[in-house]
Amino acid sequence: MSKPRLIIDTDPGHDDAIALILAHHFADVVGITTVAGNTTVENATKNAIRICDLLDVSTPVHSGASAPLVAAPDFASEVHGDDGLGGIQLPEPSRAEASDRAIEFLLDAVEPDLWVVAIGPLTNIAQVLNRDKSWFERVAGLSLMGGTTGGGNVTAAAEFNIYFDPEAADVVFRAGGKTLMSGLNLTHQVQISATELEHVVKSSPESLRTRFIDQNFARIIERLHDLTGSPEVAMHDPCAVLAVTHPDLFEFSPREVKVELTGSHTRGMTVVDERLRVVRDLSKIEVGYGVDAHAVKSLIFEVLYGDVSEPE
């Protein structure tokens, strides 16, 4: 069975880094496009190339939007640091970006079997749809990490990727194309703790790659513990990748989803219509509700650290 073909639209970002590693293992990644979100688009582009260098792959990286469609950018430096990776020391990128024309790349590279996995704000995807409303008809689908059916993480109502550029998210959800939405209600079911990491780290050989992974997890767990008191980190972005490569591990249901743009307390909220109505069957937006967390974590540990068992 051939690997799925993906373009990853990303803003690396701690969990973006994990998602990129998983994507290159389980899929044929034909390109990476970067977007402002967790950090500046310049940092995101450098980080994406650094991660490709770490994996010894030459996936082309195209930089994209440097700011949301309407609002000023509000980066997640309190979680991801000023550079997006919490100051982890990696060699300088071995190459320059392939281009600064991510939108054109996303427009030109599409094929009927190609999935786009968006794990940052949806600014690039919205710009693509503003240029070509038929774009969704020419790709296999869009798998995104964003939104939630419940409470948010950057405000009480909104998840970060949607909140960063709600106008872009509104364009994407209104377009009505085949979309898998891995929101916080799904991704928070896949939590990795410091205790679990300690177990797998002891069982794995040391290398530049595993040192980066160890530091990456350590930085994000430390920052989240300081911010929230939680000793665990959710595998947000990896879920959007694995929803395409391992769909049998996830449960999605069609829903209508709208984005709140004007509420003083709810801007960026994804309003998921869960009323029992026939119109639900017509929606092409599939909202994630269930996941085999044990299986997903086992896959993550196996890819990141080799053939080690997940602790009981």
Active site residues: 236
The neighbouring-strand residues paired with 179 are 142, 285
β-strands 256-259, 270-273 pairing: antiparallel
DSSP annotation of 196 reads: H
CA distance 81 to 14: 10
What letter represents residue 235's amino acid?
M
User: DSSP string of 43-93?
Assistant: HHHHHHHHHHHHHT----EEE--SS-SSSPP---HHHH-TTSSTT---PPP
Vertex 8 angle, CA 175 and 134, to 5°:
25
Q: Of 196, 198, 194, whose CA–CA distance to 223 is shortest? A: 194
